[in-house]
Amino acid sequence: MVTVLQDIIAGVREDLDARRRTLPLEELKVRAAAAPRALDGFAALGGGRDERPDLRVIAEVKRRSPSKGELAGIADPAALAGRYAGGGASVISVLTEERRFGGSLADLDAVRAAVDIPVLRKDFTCDPYMIWEARAHGADLVLLIVAALDDGELRDYLALTHELGMDAIVETHTAGEIARAVAVGARIIGINVRNLKTLAVDRSTFAALAGNIPAGPVVIAESGVRDAGDVRHYAGHGANAVLVGEALVRDATPRERITEFRQAGAEAIAALRLGTH
């Protein structure tokens, strides 16, 4: 039986093949080399410090999803990204997958031109071409989904990402996938609490899995953030950052919501350190 992830990746590969016929890899590499140097996504998410006193927010430009359908029209992704940055987002995530999420590389270009903070190209990376493509379009981070890659691909894709000066969010869903991410030296590990088979969200998954990540990597909670209470929950169980899409694109005041989420996260982290969580 074909899983949702496999079905999405099949479409991604078809669209990728079409782009590759238009722009060969060697020409793409020239464009990537000409792009401005990547920003430090690891540092932006609090990495490299002994203490991470606050919670970082990765705010997502996301029009629709397989689980919820249409979320928001987003006629001006650059303007939305500007509001995100104004609210204190540390990274802007841009969905570029077209068939299920309604994204595009044009969205990535628009956001990159509008903000001066790191930008994540969020897609179903299944070929090195997509990493070169992300860099050519100014992305500072890419998404690597452990469930979609074998160990060799995961290691090689992560190495290429670092070779190009970028960072990768290595997304996991199980303890076994976390072990694989740690084994290849992932510096940013995401725990996605959405079940890849059913698309259901179980927020308790984060607390159950976060303890498997050793000290050092940035830990990101993905999916399931509806309000400040969810942010407190994730931060209280060890999240250094949260990735938020639906709750922000559906909010009339995303700038204020991000500020609220950051405050809620900081309070939870402070409580955790004081042992009152």
pLDDT digits (tens, 9 = 90+) for 189-227: 999 999 887 889 999 999 999 999 999 999 999 999 999
Q: Return the CATH number at 122.
A: 3.20.20.70
| Phi-psi label, residue 207: left if phi above 0, alpha if psi -120 to 50, beta otherwise | alpha
Residue whose token pair is 């629709």: 64
**Whether the Cβ atoms of residue 46 and residue 265 lie closer than 8 Å to each other:** no
Residue whose token pair is 């050092």: 216
Burial 14-35, CB ≥16 within 10 A → b, else e: eebeeeeeeeeeeebeeebeeb
pTM for this entry? 0.95
Out of 171, 177, 240, 246, the active site residue is 171
Report the pLDDT value the prediction gives residue 76, as an integer from 0 to 100. Answer: 96
The tokens describing 266, both together, are 């900081």
Out of 65, 90, 192, 240, the active site residue is 192
Count of structural domains within the chain: 1
Single-letter amino acid code for the residue at 264: A
Domain that holds residue 224: 4-274
Q: Catalytic: 14?
A: no
Q: Catalytic: 29?
A: no
Q: Report the candidate in 55, 46, 90 with the shortest Cα–Cα distance to residue 272.
A: 55
**Better-predicted residue by pLDDT, 30 or 200:** 30
Residue whose token pair is 């956001």: 111
Residue whose token pair is 């570029």: 96
Task: Indicate if the alpha-carbon torsion angle 153, 159, 162, 167 is positive or negative.
Answer: positive
Q: Catalytic: 60?
A: yes
**Better-predicted residue by pLDDT, 17 or 275:** 17
